[in-house]
Amino acid sequence: MSWTPLRLPNGDRSALFGGSYLVAVNEDWGFGPSVYGAARGNYGGVFAAGLTAQRRWRLSGDSHLALGLYAGAGGGLSSEQIRYGGGLMLRPELSLRTQVGNWYSGLALSHVRFPSGNVKSSSIALVLGRSDSFASFAPSDAGRLGRSSGRSGMGFDEIALSAGVYLPRKGAKTRSGQPSARRMYTAGADLRQYLAPGSWWGLEASGAAKGGADGYMEILGTAGQDWALGTPNLRAGLHVAAGLGGGGNVATGNGWLLRAGPSLRWLAPWGGSVRLEGGWLRSASGGFSAPYGRLSLALPLERRSRADSFWQLEDGVVRTQSFYAAVQQLPSMSYKNGSSASIGQIGLLMTRELNPWLYGAAQAGSAAFGKAGAYSYGLFGLGLQTPLWAQQWRAGAELLVGAAGGGGVAVGGGAVMQAEAWGQWEGRGDWDRLRLRAGLGQWRTMKAGTQSSPVFSLAVGYAFGTMAP
Protein backbone atom coordinates (compact mmCIF):
# COMPACT_ATOMS: atom_id res chain seq x y z
CA MET A 1 0.00 0.00 0.00
CA SER A 2 1.11 3.57 -0.57
CA TRP A 3 0.05 7.15 0.15
CA THR A 4 1.10 9.63 -2.54
CA PRO A 5 0.43 13.38 -2.04
CA LEU A 6 -0.52 15.31 -5.22
CA ARG A 7 -0.36 18.98 -6.15
CA LEU A 8 -2.99 19.55 -8.87
CA PRO A 9 -2.69 22.12 -11.70
CA ASN A 10 -5.30 24.41 -10.09
CA GLY A 11 -3.29 24.53 -6.85
CA ASP A 12 -5.48 22.08 -4.91
CA ARG A 13 -3.89 19.35 -2.86
CA SER A 14 -5.01 15.75 -3.11
CA ALA A 15 -3.50 12.30 -2.54
CA LEU A 16 -3.66 8.84 -4.06
CA PHE A 17 -4.12 5.79 -1.85
CA GLY A 18 -2.73 2.78 -3.71
CA GLY A 19 -2.66 -0.97 -3.37
CA SER A 20 -0.56 -3.51 -5.29
CA TYR A 21 -0.35 -7.30 -5.38
CA LEU A 22 3.12 -8.19 -6.68
CA VAL A 23 4.19 -11.75 -7.42
CA ALA A 24 7.92 -12.37 -6.99
CA VAL A 25 9.29 -13.99 -10.13
CA ASN A 26 12.59 -14.35 -8.23
CA GLU A 27 14.38 -12.58 -5.37
CA ASP A 28 14.93 -9.47 -7.50
CA TRP A 29 11.86 -9.00 -9.71
CA GLY A 30 8.12 -8.80 -9.06
CA PHE A 31 5.08 -7.69 -11.01
CA GLY A 32 1.31 -7.56 -10.60
CA PRO A 33 -1.86 -5.47 -10.60
CA SER A 34 -2.18 -2.08 -8.87
CA VAL A 35 -5.10 0.25 -8.14
CA TYR A 36 -4.99 3.92 -7.07
CA GLY A 37 -7.82 6.12 -5.82
CA ALA A 38 -8.15 9.76 -4.74
CA ALA A 39 -8.35 10.00 -0.93
CA ARG A 40 -7.96 13.70 -0.15
CA GLY A 41 -9.56 16.96 -1.22
CA ASN A 42 -12.84 17.04 -3.12
CA TYR A 43 -11.82 14.52 -5.78
CA GLY A 44 -13.56 11.30 -4.72
CA GLY A 45 -14.05 9.03 -7.72
CA VAL A 46 -10.63 9.50 -9.32
CA PHE A 47 -9.39 5.93 -9.90
CA ALA A 48 -6.65 4.27 -11.93
CA ALA A 49 -5.85 0.57 -12.44
CA GLY A 50 -2.94 -1.07 -14.18
CA LEU A 51 0.26 -3.10 -13.81
CA THR A 52 3.40 -2.51 -11.72
CA ALA A 53 6.86 -3.98 -12.38
CA GLN A 54 9.43 -3.75 -9.60
CA ARG A 55 13.17 -4.43 -9.18
CA ARG A 56 14.52 -4.94 -5.65
CA TRP A 57 18.04 -4.81 -4.20
CA ARG A 58 18.77 -6.29 -0.77
CA LEU A 59 20.92 -3.82 1.19
CA SER A 60 21.06 -5.75 4.47
CA GLY A 61 19.15 -8.41 6.34
CA ASP A 62 16.28 -6.05 7.15
CA SER A 63 16.36 -3.34 4.46
CA HIS A 64 16.03 -3.17 0.69
CA LEU A 65 15.77 -0.66 -2.16
CA ALA A 66 12.99 -0.95 -4.74
CA LEU A 67 12.52 0.69 -8.12
CA GLY A 68 9.02 0.35 -9.57
CA LEU A 69 7.09 1.53 -12.60
CA TYR A 70 3.30 1.56 -12.74
CA ALA A 71 1.46 1.94 -16.07
CA GLY A 72 -2.32 2.04 -16.12
CA ALA A 73 -5.34 4.12 -16.90
CA GLY A 74 -7.96 6.16 -15.09
CA GLY A 75 -9.09 9.65 -14.19
CA GLY A 76 -12.13 11.31 -12.72
CA LEU A 77 -13.56 14.75 -12.07
CA SER A 78 -12.03 17.09 -14.64
CA SER A 79 -12.38 20.75 -15.60
CA GLU A 80 -10.66 23.38 -17.72
CA GLN A 81 -7.90 23.49 -15.08
CA ILE A 82 -7.58 19.72 -14.46
CA ARG A 83 -7.38 17.38 -17.44
CA TYR A 84 -6.58 13.67 -17.48
CA GLY A 85 -6.42 13.52 -21.30
CA GLY A 86 -6.90 10.01 -22.66
CA GLY A 87 -6.48 8.53 -19.18
CA LEU A 88 -2.99 6.97 -19.37
CA MET A 89 -1.20 7.24 -15.99
CA LEU A 90 2.47 6.55 -15.22
CA ARG A 91 3.95 6.38 -11.73
CA PRO A 92 7.68 5.62 -11.29
CA GLU A 93 8.81 5.13 -7.69
CA LEU A 94 12.13 4.69 -5.85
CA SER A 95 11.67 3.51 -2.27
CA LEU A 96 13.80 2.52 0.71
CA ARG A 97 12.12 -0.02 3.03
CA THR A 98 12.90 -1.52 6.43
CA GLN A 99 11.52 -4.96 7.23
CA VAL A 100 10.34 -6.39 10.57
CA GLY A 101 9.20 -9.98 10.22
CA ASN A 102 6.91 -10.18 7.20
CA TRP A 103 6.05 -6.46 7.34
CA TYR A 104 8.00 -3.59 5.83
CA SER A 105 7.60 0.19 5.63
CA GLY A 106 9.51 3.08 4.12
CA LEU A 107 9.64 6.30 2.15
CA ALA A 108 9.58 6.72 -1.63
CA LEU A 109 10.31 9.34 -4.22
CA SER A 110 7.37 9.14 -6.61
CA HIS A 111 6.12 10.93 -9.70
CA VAL A 112 2.55 10.77 -11.02
CA ARG A 113 1.89 11.84 -14.61
CA PHE A 114 -1.01 11.71 -17.08
CA PRO A 115 1.00 12.23 -20.31
CA SER A 116 -1.93 13.39 -22.48
CA GLY A 117 -3.37 15.62 -19.72
CA ASN A 118 -1.92 18.25 -17.44
CA VAL A 119 -1.93 16.36 -14.11
CA LYS A 120 1.60 15.70 -12.89
CA SER A 121 3.19 15.83 -9.48
CA SER A 122 6.32 14.67 -7.67
CA SER A 123 6.30 13.94 -3.94
CA ILE A 124 7.56 11.83 -1.08
CA ALA A 125 5.22 8.86 -0.63
CA LEU A 126 4.72 6.48 2.29
CA VAL A 127 4.91 2.72 1.68
CA LEU A 128 3.60 -0.14 3.83
CA GLY A 129 3.71 -3.77 2.75
CA ARG A 130 3.69 -7.40 3.74
CA SER A 131 5.52 -10.36 2.22
CA ASP A 132 3.70 -13.66 2.08
CA SER A 133 3.98 -17.02 0.36
CA PHE A 134 2.54 -17.73 -3.08
CA ALA A 135 2.06 -21.48 -3.05
CA SER A 136 1.00 -22.71 -6.47
CA PHE A 137 1.21 -25.63 -8.87
CA ALA A 138 2.59 -25.52 -12.40
CA PRO A 139 -0.09 -24.72 -15.02
CA SER A 140 0.84 -27.99 -16.76
CA ASP A 141 -0.50 -29.84 -13.68
CA ALA A 142 -4.07 -28.75 -14.53
CA GLY A 143 -6.48 -31.68 -14.32
CA ARG A 144 -4.19 -33.76 -12.11
CA LEU A 145 -4.65 -34.58 -8.44
CA GLY A 146 -2.69 -32.32 -6.11
CA ARG A 147 -2.03 -32.19 -2.37
CA SER A 148 -1.63 -29.08 -0.24
CA SER A 149 -1.53 -28.12 3.44
CA GLY A 150 -2.49 -24.49 2.90
CA ARG A 151 -4.24 -22.07 0.57
CA SER A 152 -2.87 -21.94 -2.94
CA GLY A 153 -2.49 -19.07 -5.39
CA MET A 154 -3.74 -15.68 -4.21
CA GLY A 155 -5.12 -17.19 -1.01
CA PHE A 156 -8.82 -16.30 -1.24
CA ASP A 157 -11.51 -18.84 -0.36
CA GLU A 158 -14.36 -17.64 -2.57
CA ILE A 159 -15.43 -15.15 -5.21
CA ALA A 160 -18.91 -13.62 -5.37
CA LEU A 161 -20.93 -11.74 -7.98
CA SER A 162 -23.37 -9.19 -6.61
CA ALA A 163 -26.21 -6.83 -7.48
CA GLY A 164 -27.15 -3.99 -5.16
CA VAL A 165 -29.21 -0.86 -4.77
CA TYR A 166 -28.64 2.47 -2.97
CA LEU A 167 -31.58 4.62 -1.85
CA PRO A 168 -30.18 8.15 -1.39
CA ARG A 169 -31.74 10.02 1.52
CA LYS A 170 -34.25 12.77 0.88
CA GLY A 171 -32.48 16.02 0.15
CA ALA A 172 -29.38 14.34 -1.31
CA LYS A 173 -27.54 16.42 -3.89
CA THR A 174 -25.10 15.81 -6.74
CA ARG A 175 -21.61 17.32 -6.91
CA SER A 176 -23.12 20.20 -8.87
CA GLY A 177 -25.63 20.88 -6.07
CA GLN A 178 -28.70 19.55 -7.88
CA PRO A 179 -31.25 17.35 -6.03
CA SER A 180 -30.57 13.62 -6.46
CA ALA A 181 -32.82 11.06 -4.80
CA ARG A 182 -32.91 8.47 -7.61
CA ARG A 183 -32.24 4.85 -6.81
CA MET A 184 -28.78 3.74 -7.90
CA TYR A 185 -28.31 0.10 -8.90
CA THR A 186 -24.85 -1.46 -8.80
CA ALA A 187 -23.08 -4.57 -10.08
CA GLY A 188 -19.85 -5.90 -8.67
CA ALA A 189 -17.69 -8.72 -7.34
CA ASP A 190 -15.73 -9.54 -4.20
CA LEU A 191 -13.08 -11.92 -2.87
CA ARG A 192 -13.16 -13.37 0.67
CA GLN A 193 -10.82 -15.24 2.96
CA TYR A 194 -12.29 -16.99 6.01
CA LEU A 195 -10.24 -16.87 9.23
CA ALA A 196 -12.76 -19.21 10.90
CA PRO A 197 -16.10 -20.66 9.69
CA GLY A 198 -17.93 -17.41 10.57
CA SER A 199 -15.13 -14.83 10.50
CA TRP A 200 -13.83 -13.28 7.28
CA TRP A 201 -12.19 -10.36 5.52
CA GLY A 202 -12.21 -9.45 1.85
CA LEU A 203 -11.98 -6.98 -1.03
CA GLU A 204 -14.81 -5.81 -3.25
CA ALA A 205 -15.40 -3.54 -6.23
CA SER A 206 -18.65 -2.39 -7.82
CA GLY A 207 -20.01 0.28 -10.13
CA ALA A 208 -23.29 1.91 -11.10
CA ALA A 209 -25.31 -0.13 -13.60
CA LYS A 210 -28.59 1.82 -13.59
CA GLY A 211 -30.04 5.02 -12.16
CA GLY A 212 -28.28 7.86 -13.96
CA ALA A 213 -24.98 7.62 -12.04
CA ASP A 214 -22.90 5.88 -14.72
CA GLY A 215 -19.23 6.32 -13.84
CA TYR A 216 -19.73 5.78 -10.10
CA MET A 217 -17.26 3.24 -8.71
CA GLU A 218 -16.22 1.99 -5.26
CA ILE A 219 -13.40 -0.23 -4.00
CA LEU A 220 -13.72 -1.38 -0.38
CA GLY A 221 -12.02 -3.58 2.18
CA THR A 222 -14.56 -5.65 4.11
CA ALA A 223 -14.75 -7.77 7.27
CA GLY A 224 -17.51 -9.55 9.15
CA GLN A 225 -18.70 -12.20 11.56
CA ASP A 226 -21.77 -14.41 11.44
CA TRP A 227 -23.25 -17.19 13.59
CA ALA A 228 -25.35 -20.28 12.88
CA LEU A 229 -29.14 -19.97 13.19
CA GLY A 230 -30.06 -23.44 14.42
CA THR A 231 -28.35 -25.09 11.44
CA PRO A 232 -24.72 -24.64 10.28
CA ASN A 233 -25.91 -23.81 6.76
CA LEU A 234 -27.90 -20.68 7.71
CA ARG A 235 -25.93 -17.89 9.36
CA ALA A 236 -26.68 -14.31 10.43
CA GLY A 237 -24.20 -11.63 11.44
CA LEU A 238 -22.73 -8.18 10.92
CA HIS A 239 -20.34 -6.72 8.38
CA VAL A 240 -18.38 -3.50 7.91
CA ALA A 241 -16.61 -2.04 4.89
CA ALA A 242 -14.38 0.97 4.30
CA GLY A 243 -12.66 2.30 1.22
CA LEU A 244 -12.90 4.76 -1.65
CA GLY A 245 -15.70 5.64 -4.05
CA GLY A 246 -17.16 8.34 -6.24
CA GLY A 247 -17.76 9.45 -9.81
CA GLY A 248 -21.03 9.59 -11.72
CA ASN A 249 -21.74 13.04 -10.24
CA VAL A 250 -22.16 11.44 -6.79
CA ALA A 251 -20.95 13.78 -4.03
CA THR A 252 -18.49 11.67 -2.02
CA GLY A 253 -16.10 14.53 -1.16
CA ASN A 254 -12.60 13.19 -0.55
CA GLY A 255 -13.74 9.69 -1.56
CA TRP A 256 -13.67 7.84 1.76
CA LEU A 257 -16.72 5.64 2.39
CA LEU A 258 -17.93 3.64 5.39
CA ARG A 259 -20.62 0.95 5.16
CA ALA A 260 -22.07 -1.35 7.84
CA GLY A 261 -25.11 -3.49 8.57
CA PRO A 262 -26.55 -6.97 9.13
CA SER A 263 -25.97 -9.98 6.87
CA LEU A 264 -27.58 -13.33 6.14
CA ARG A 265 -25.68 -16.22 4.51
CA TRP A 266 -26.96 -19.60 3.29
CA LEU A 267 -24.36 -22.29 2.57
CA ALA A 268 -25.65 -24.41 -0.31
CA PRO A 269 -25.06 -28.19 -0.37
CA TRP A 270 -23.18 -27.86 -3.68
CA GLY A 271 -20.45 -25.71 -2.07
CA GLY A 272 -21.49 -22.18 -3.02
CA SER A 273 -23.46 -19.72 -0.91
CA VAL A 274 -26.08 -16.99 -1.25
CA ARG A 275 -25.67 -13.78 0.76
CA LEU A 276 -28.10 -11.00 1.58
CA GLU A 277 -26.73 -7.80 3.10
CA GLY A 278 -28.26 -4.50 4.12
CA GLY A 279 -27.32 -1.44 6.09
CA TRP A 280 -26.16 2.12 5.56
CA LEU A 281 -23.40 3.71 3.51
CA ARG A 282 -22.00 7.14 4.29
CA SER A 283 -19.23 9.26 2.80
CA ALA A 284 -16.74 10.84 5.19
CA SER A 285 -17.32 14.18 3.43
CA GLY A 286 -19.45 15.36 0.53
CA GLY A 287 -22.80 14.51 2.13
CA PHE A 288 -23.61 11.27 0.31
CA SER A 289 -25.42 8.72 2.48
CA ALA A 290 -27.94 6.01 1.71
CA PRO A 291 -29.45 2.78 2.98
CA TYR A 292 -28.63 -0.11 0.71
CA GLY A 293 -29.25 -3.78 -0.01
CA ARG A 294 -27.11 -6.31 -1.85
CA LEU A 295 -27.64 -9.88 -3.05
CA SER A 296 -24.57 -12.03 -3.87
CA LEU A 297 -23.88 -15.48 -5.28
CA ALA A 298 -20.55 -16.85 -4.01
CA LEU A 299 -18.52 -19.66 -5.57
CA PRO A 300 -15.71 -21.46 -3.69
CA LEU A 301 -12.09 -21.15 -4.73
CA GLU A 302 -10.65 -23.26 -1.89
CA ARG A 303 -11.91 -26.05 0.37
CA ARG A 304 -14.12 -24.94 3.24
CA SER A 305 -11.96 -26.83 5.75
CA ARG A 306 -9.15 -24.30 5.21
CA ALA A 307 -10.96 -22.11 7.76
CA ASP A 308 -10.69 -24.91 10.36
CA SER A 309 -7.25 -26.41 9.84
CA PHE A 310 -4.50 -24.67 7.89
CA TRP A 311 -2.01 -27.52 8.09
CA GLN A 312 -4.14 -30.53 7.22
CA LEU A 313 -3.00 -32.21 4.01
CA GLU A 314 -5.83 -32.32 1.49
CA ASP A 315 -6.19 -33.72 -1.99
CA GLY A 316 -7.89 -31.96 -4.88
CA VAL A 317 -7.85 -31.39 -8.62
CA VAL A 318 -5.47 -28.70 -9.90
CA ARG A 319 -7.09 -25.93 -11.96
CA THR A 320 -5.38 -23.07 -13.81
CA GLN A 321 -5.82 -19.47 -12.72
CA SER A 322 -4.38 -16.53 -14.67
CA PHE A 323 -4.21 -12.78 -14.55
CA TYR A 324 -3.52 -10.59 -17.58
CA ALA A 325 -2.63 -7.02 -18.43
CA ALA A 326 -4.73 -6.19 -21.49
CA VAL A 327 -4.90 -3.40 -24.06
CA GLN A 328 -8.24 -3.02 -25.87
CA GLN A 329 -9.32 -0.87 -28.79
CA LEU A 330 -12.95 0.15 -29.36
CA PRO A 331 -12.88 1.97 -32.72
CA SER A 332 -16.37 3.49 -32.71
CA MET A 333 -17.71 4.91 -29.43
CA SER A 334 -20.44 7.54 -29.09
CA TYR A 335 -20.25 10.37 -26.56
CA LYS A 336 -23.02 12.20 -24.72
CA ASN A 337 -22.25 15.37 -26.72
CA GLY A 338 -23.09 13.56 -29.97
CA SER A 339 -19.51 13.03 -31.19
CA SER A 340 -17.87 9.70 -31.98
CA ALA A 341 -14.26 8.54 -31.54
CA SER A 342 -12.16 5.50 -30.72
CA ILE A 343 -11.12 4.52 -27.19
CA GLY A 344 -7.97 2.65 -26.19
CA GLN A 345 -8.29 0.89 -22.81
CA ILE A 346 -5.87 -0.67 -20.35
CA GLY A 347 -7.36 -3.34 -18.12
CA LEU A 348 -6.75 -6.26 -15.80
CA LEU A 349 -8.30 -9.66 -16.52
CA MET A 350 -8.48 -12.62 -14.13
CA THR A 351 -9.63 -16.11 -15.17
CA ARG A 352 -10.20 -19.32 -13.20
CA GLU A 353 -10.87 -22.77 -14.67
CA LEU A 354 -14.03 -24.44 -13.34
CA ASN A 355 -13.38 -27.59 -15.41
CA PRO A 356 -11.22 -28.27 -18.50
CA TRP A 357 -13.79 -26.57 -20.78
CA LEU A 358 -15.41 -23.86 -18.64
CA TYR A 359 -13.86 -20.88 -16.81
CA GLY A 360 -14.96 -17.80 -14.90
CA ALA A 361 -13.60 -14.34 -15.74
CA ALA A 362 -13.50 -10.86 -14.19
CA GLN A 363 -12.15 -7.78 -15.95
CA ALA A 364 -11.70 -4.12 -14.95
CA GLY A 365 -9.97 -1.14 -16.51
CA SER A 366 -10.14 2.40 -17.81
CA ALA A 367 -9.65 4.45 -20.96
CA ALA A 368 -5.99 5.29 -21.64
CA PHE A 369 -5.90 6.62 -25.21
CA GLY A 370 -8.35 8.95 -26.96
CA LYS A 371 -10.48 11.60 -25.29
CA ALA A 372 -12.40 9.51 -22.71
CA GLY A 373 -10.14 9.93 -19.67
CA ALA A 374 -12.12 8.87 -16.54
CA TYR A 375 -14.14 6.24 -18.43
CA SER A 376 -13.92 2.97 -16.45
CA TYR A 377 -15.52 -0.47 -16.62
CA GLY A 378 -15.90 -3.67 -14.60
CA LEU A 379 -17.13 -6.96 -16.13
CA PHE A 380 -17.57 -10.57 -15.07
CA GLY A 381 -18.91 -13.74 -16.69
CA LEU A 382 -18.11 -17.18 -18.11
CA GLY A 383 -16.07 -18.55 -20.99
CA LEU A 384 -15.46 -21.74 -22.95
CA GLN A 385 -12.01 -22.94 -24.04
CA THR A 386 -10.56 -25.72 -26.16
CA PRO A 387 -7.89 -28.23 -25.09
CA LEU A 388 -4.32 -27.42 -26.08
CA TRP A 389 -3.27 -28.29 -29.58
CA ALA A 390 0.33 -28.47 -30.82
CA GLN A 391 1.16 -28.30 -27.06
CA GLN A 392 1.08 -24.47 -26.99
CA TRP A 393 -2.13 -23.15 -28.58
CA ARG A 394 -5.66 -22.72 -27.29
CA ALA A 395 -8.83 -20.89 -28.38
CA GLY A 396 -11.98 -19.83 -26.60
CA ALA A 397 -14.87 -17.42 -26.24
CA GLU A 398 -16.42 -15.55 -23.32
CA LEU A 399 -19.45 -13.46 -22.44
CA LEU A 400 -19.10 -10.77 -19.76
CA VAL A 401 -21.58 -8.33 -18.22
CA GLY A 402 -21.09 -5.47 -15.78
CA ALA A 403 -21.00 -1.71 -15.37
CA ALA A 404 -19.18 1.16 -17.12
CA GLY A 405 -19.28 4.92 -17.38
CA GLY A 406 -17.52 8.26 -17.09
CA GLY A 407 -15.45 10.27 -19.53
CA GLY A 408 -18.53 11.54 -21.35
CA VAL A 409 -19.17 8.15 -23.02
CA ALA A 410 -22.85 7.40 -23.72
CA VAL A 411 -23.56 4.17 -21.81
CA GLY A 412 -27.21 4.60 -20.83
CA GLY A 413 -27.62 3.64 -17.18
CA GLY A 414 -24.18 2.03 -17.05
CA ALA A 415 -24.95 -1.67 -17.66
CA VAL A 416 -22.80 -3.12 -20.47
CA MET A 417 -21.87 -6.48 -21.96
CA GLN A 418 -18.99 -7.83 -24.05
CA ALA A 419 -18.65 -10.99 -26.14
CA GLU A 420 -15.19 -11.99 -27.38
CA ALA A 421 -13.49 -14.87 -29.20
CA TRP A 422 -9.79 -15.31 -28.51
CA GLY A 423 -6.67 -17.31 -29.36
CA GLN A 424 -3.80 -17.90 -26.93
CA TRP A 425 -0.15 -19.02 -27.01
CA GLU A 426 1.11 -20.72 -23.83
CA GLY A 427 4.78 -20.96 -22.90
CA ARG A 428 6.71 -24.14 -22.10
CA GLY A 429 9.69 -25.04 -19.93
CA ASP A 430 11.02 -22.07 -17.97
CA TRP A 431 8.28 -19.92 -19.59
CA ASP A 432 5.35 -22.23 -18.79
CA ARG A 433 3.49 -19.53 -16.83
CA LEU A 434 3.56 -17.00 -19.69
CA ARG A 435 0.40 -16.39 -21.73
CA LEU A 436 -0.04 -14.26 -24.88
CA ARG A 437 -3.64 -13.69 -25.98
CA ALA A 438 -5.43 -11.86 -28.81
CA GLY A 439 -9.19 -11.37 -29.08
CA LEU A 440 -11.92 -9.98 -31.31
CA GLY A 441 -15.48 -9.29 -30.21
CA GLN A 442 -18.38 -6.92 -29.70
CA TRP A 443 -19.08 -4.46 -26.87
CA ARG A 444 -22.52 -2.96 -26.28
CA THR A 445 -24.68 -1.26 -23.71
CA MET A 446 -27.53 -3.31 -22.27
CA LYS A 447 -29.98 -0.44 -22.55
CA ALA A 448 -31.61 -0.89 -25.94
CA GLY A 449 -30.64 1.58 -28.63
CA THR A 450 -27.69 3.23 -26.85
CA GLN A 451 -24.59 2.00 -28.69
CA SER A 452 -22.23 -0.85 -29.59
CA SER A 453 -18.70 -1.19 -30.95
CA PRO A 454 -16.27 -3.87 -32.14
CA VAL A 455 -13.49 -4.57 -29.64
CA PHE A 456 -9.93 -5.79 -30.34
CA SER A 457 -7.62 -6.89 -27.53
CA LEU A 458 -4.05 -7.98 -26.84
CA ALA A 459 -3.00 -9.33 -23.43
CA VAL A 460 0.02 -10.77 -21.66
CA GLY A 461 -0.67 -13.04 -18.70
CA TYR A 462 0.78 -15.04 -15.83
CA ALA A 463 -0.73 -18.48 -15.09
CA PHE A 464 -0.47 -20.76 -12.05
CA GLY A 465 -2.18 -23.87 -10.73
CA THR A 466 -4.49 -23.86 -7.70
CA MET A 467 -6.33 -26.68 -5.98
CA ALA A 468 -10.04 -26.70 -6.76
CA PRO A 469 -12.60 -27.06 -3.94
Topology agreement, domain 2-130 and domain 316-467: yes
CATH number belonging to domain 2-130? 2.40.160
CA torsion, ordered 68, 73, 79, 81, to nearest 10 deg: 30
> Residue 151: its pLDDT value, please?
80
Per residue in 59-97, pLDDT tens? 988 999 999 999 999 888 777 888 898 999 999 999 999
- Rounded CA gap, 68 and 50, in Å? 13
Whether pLDDT at 447 is above 90:
no
Asked whether the beta carbons of 157 and 301 are under 8 A apart, the reply is yes
CATH architecture, domain defined by 316-467 = Beta Barrel (2.40)
- Render 158-186 in DSSP notation, one character per residue: EEEEEEEEE-PPTT-BBTTS-B----EEE
- Rounded CA gap, 30 and 365, in Å? 21
Give the β-pairing of 314-334 and 184-196.
Answer: unpaired
Give me the chain's average pLDDT, please.
Answer: 90
Residue 171: band (very low, low, confident or very high) from pLDDT cuts 50, 70, 90:
low
The predicted model scores a pTM of 0.91
Separation in Å, CA 397 to CA 150, 164, 383, 401, 420: 32, 28, 6, 14, 6
Give the β-pairing of 340-353 and 314-334.
Answer: antiparallel
Asked whether the beta carbons of 434 and 464 are under 8 A apart, the reply is no
Lowest mean pLDDT among 208-212, 329-333, 433-437, 454-458: 208-212
Segments making up each domain of the chain, as ranges: 2-130, 158-300, 316-467
> Residue 443: its pLDDT value, please?
95
Q: Domain 158-300 has what CATH class?
A: mainly beta
> Residue 209: its pLDDT value, please?
87
Give the β-pairing of 103-113 and 88-100.
Answer: antiparallel
